[in-house]
C-alpha cells in the first residue's frame, strides 16, 4: 500500500454518482436490519429470501434510468442472481455503479449513556481492498447521532459527536487510499420530540465538526459524497412544518456547514414516508435552483424500497408488481431532482 491517491479516478466516480439527475439506491441493510423488515412484512428471514429480494431490486427493468449507484452489504456483494450472474455484474450491466457499506454498526459509546459510536476501523484497509477487488467503486459508513436528554444532560454530547466524526474521517481517508469514493453519513435521528430548530442546530454542529475532522485527516473533498439527514422536527414532536420550511431549513443548514468542494450531497430518508422524502427533495430544487454550490440528490433505502417490499411479501408472483413500485419511487426521486415531482400514491 503506497498511499498514493488517484484523485482523477475518485472524482470521476463521485461525479458519476450524482450526474444526470440520478441518485442512489441504498440496499445495504445489515442482516439483522433486513430480517427485522422481513419479519414486519411476514417474510421468512432466510439467506435465500434476502438474496431473492435483492435480486428483485437489482433486476428491476430500466432502474438505471434513475439510479446511478447501489449500496450493497457484505452478504450481498458475494451473491448472484438465480441465473448465476454476480450482483456486481448485474448492476454494471444495468449501468449502475456498485458500492458497499463497510461500517460494522453503531455500538454503545463507553461513558456516554444513550449514545453510540460506529465501529469498524480495525482491519478496514484490508476489507476495503477486498471489496474493491469484488467490484465496489464506492463505500458507505453511517454514524448515528441521537437528540434527547439523559438526566440534566442534553444529547448529543461533544464526546459522541467527536468520536463519530473522527471515525468517519479515518474511514474516508482509508477509502481514498484504496481508490473507493467514501460516502460519509452522519445521521441525526428523527426519534424524539425535538423541534426542527433543534435538529438544525445539531446537524450544523455535527457537519461543522465532520468537515474539520475530514480536513485534519487530509481527505480530498472533491472525491467524497456527503449523506446527511434532512432537517426535520422529531417524529414525536407536535410541531408541524411545511414542505417549504423543511427544504429551507435543510438547504440553509447545508450552505452554512458544507464546503462547495464536496462532489455532491445525497440524502438519507431516515423514516420519512416515500412521498415526504421526495416532496422535500423536490422543494429544495424548486426553491433553490441556481443557488446550490453542490449537486443535491437522494440515497434512500426505506423511502425507495418500502412499497416494493410490502407488495413482494416473499412471493414470486408479486415480483413484477414490486419492481414496478420500486421503479416508480426511483423515477419519482429523479423527477424531484428536476423540481417536477408531484406527490401521489402508487
Ligand atoms: P434510509 O433512507 O432508510 O434512512 O436509509 C438510508 C441509509 O443508507 C441508512 O444508512
Give 22-72 pLDDT, tens digit per residue.
999 999 999 999 999 999 999 999 999 999 999 999 999 999 999 999 999
Q: How do residues 315-339 score in pLDDT, each as one tens digit?
A: 999 999 999 999 999 999 999 999 9
Is residue 141 included in any domain, yes or no?
A: yes
Reported as type and span, the H/E element at residue 187 is strand 181-188
What average pLDDT does range 124-137 have in this prediction? 98
Burial per residue of 140-153, b for 16 or more beta-carbon CB atoms within 10 angstroms, e otherwise? bbbbbbbbbeeeee
Does ligand 1 have an atom closer than 6 angstroms to the CB of 329?
Answer: no
- What amino acid positions are annotated as catalytic residues? 185, 227
In-domain check, residue 34: yes
- Site to substitute for ligand 1 among 100, 182, 235, 301, most atoms within 8 A of C-beta: 301
Which residues constitute the domain of residue 320? 2-336
Q: Determine what percent of the chain is predicted with pLDDT higher than 90.
A: 96
Number of domains in the chain: 1
- Cell 460494522 sits at which residue? 104
| Cβ(142) – ligand 1 distance below 6 Å | yes
Any domain includes 344: no
The b-or-e profile of 292-314 (16+ CB within 10 A means b, else e) is eebbbbbbbbbbbbbbbbebbee
The model's pLDDT over 210-254, given as tens digits with 9 standing for 90+, comes to: 999 999 999 999 999 999 999 999 999 999 899 999 999 999 999
Domain membership of residue 342 (yes or no) is no
Would you say residue 266 lies in a domain?
A: yes
Taking the mean position of all CA atoms in its chain, how far away is CA 268?
5
pLDDT at residue number 343: 83
Instruction: Give percent above pLDDT 70 in the chain.
Output: 98
On whether the pTM is more than 0.85, the answer is: yes
Q: Is residue 81 part of a domain?
A: yes
Give residue 3's pLDDT: 58
On the question of pLDDT at 202 being above 50, the answer is: yes
pLDDT tens profile 288-311:
989 999 999 999 999 999 999 999
Tell me, what CATH number does 157's domain have? 3.20.20.70
State if residue 269 touches ligand 1 by the CB under 6 angstroms criterion: yes
C-alpha cell at 200: 438544525
**Residue 345 falls within a domain, yes or no?**
no
**Pocket of ligand 1 contains residue 305 by CB under 6 Å:** no
Query: Could you give the CA distance from residue 208 to residue 223 in angstroms, rounded to a whole number?
Result: 18
Quick one: pLDDT at residue 345? Answer: 53
Residue 103 has pLDDT above 90, yes or no: yes
Asked if pLDDT for residue 2 goes beyond 90, the answer is no
Q: Whose CA is nearest to atom 4 of ligand 1?
A: 270
In a domain, 298, yes or no: yes
The residue-averaged pLDDT of 275-279 equals 98
Distance between Cα 315 and ligand 1 center (Å) = 25
Instruction: Supply the pLDDT for residue 1.
Output: 44
Distance CA 336, CA 346 (A): 16
Amino acid at each position: 500500500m503506497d498511499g498514493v491517491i488517484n484523485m482523477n479516478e475518485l472524482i470521476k466516480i463521485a461525479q458519476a454518482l450524482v450526474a444526470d439527475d440520478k441518485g442512489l439506491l441504498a440496499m445495504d441493510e445489515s442482516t439483522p436490519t433486513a430480517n427485522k423488515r422481513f419479519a414486519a412484512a411476514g417474510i421468512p428471514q432466510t439467506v435465500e429470501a434476502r438474496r431473492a429480494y435483492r435480486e428483485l431490486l437489482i433486476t428491476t427493468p430500466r432502474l438505471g434510468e434513475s439510479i446511478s449507484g447501489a449500496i450493497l452489504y457484505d452478504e450481498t456483494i458475494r451473491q448472484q442472481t438465480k441465473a448465476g450472474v454476480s450482483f456486481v455484474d448485474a448492476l454494471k450491466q444495468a449501468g449502475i455503479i456498485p458500492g458497499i457499506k463497510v461500517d460494522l454498526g453503531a455500538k454503545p459509546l463507553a461513558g456516554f449513556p444513550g449514545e453510540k459510536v460506529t465501529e469498524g476501523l480495525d482491519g478496514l484497509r484490508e476489507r476495503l481492498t477486498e471489496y474493491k477487488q469484488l467490484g465496489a467503486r464506492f463505500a458507505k459508513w453511517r454514524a448515528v447521532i441521537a437528540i434527547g436528554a439523559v438526566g440534566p444532560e442534553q444529547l448529543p454530547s461533544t464526546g459522541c459527536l467527536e468520536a463519530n466524526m473522527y471515525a468517519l474521517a479515518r474511514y474516508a481517508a482509508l477509502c481514498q487510499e484504496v481508490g473507493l469514493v467514501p460516502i460519509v453519513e452522519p445521521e441525526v435521528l428523527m426519534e424524539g420530540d425535538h423541534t426542527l430548530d433543534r435538529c438544525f442546530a445539531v446537524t450544523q454542529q455535527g457537519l461543522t465538526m465532520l468537515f474539520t475532522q475530514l480536513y485534519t485527516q487530509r481527505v480530498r473533498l472533491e472525491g467524497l459524497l456527503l449523506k446527511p439527514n434532512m432537517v426535520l422536527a422529531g417524529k414525536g414532536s407536535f410541531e408541524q412544518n411545511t414542505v417549504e420550511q423543511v427544504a429551507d431549513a435543510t438547504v440553509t443548514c447545508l450552505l452554512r456547514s458544507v464546503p462547495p468542494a464536496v462532489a455532491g450531497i445525497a440524502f438519507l430518508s431516515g423514516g420519512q414516508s416515500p412521498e415526504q422524502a421526495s416532496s422535500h427533495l423536490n422543494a429544495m430544487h424548486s426553491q433553490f435552483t441556481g443557488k446550490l454550490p453542490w449537486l443535491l440528490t437522494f440515497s434512500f433505502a426505506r423511502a425507495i424500497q418500502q412499497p416494493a417490499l410490502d407488495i413482494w411479501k416473499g412471493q414470486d408472483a408479486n415480483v413484477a408488481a414490486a419492481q414496478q413500485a420500486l421503479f416508480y419511487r426511483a423515477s419519482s426521486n429523479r423527477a424531484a431532482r428536476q423540481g417536477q415531482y408531484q406527490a401521489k400514491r402508487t
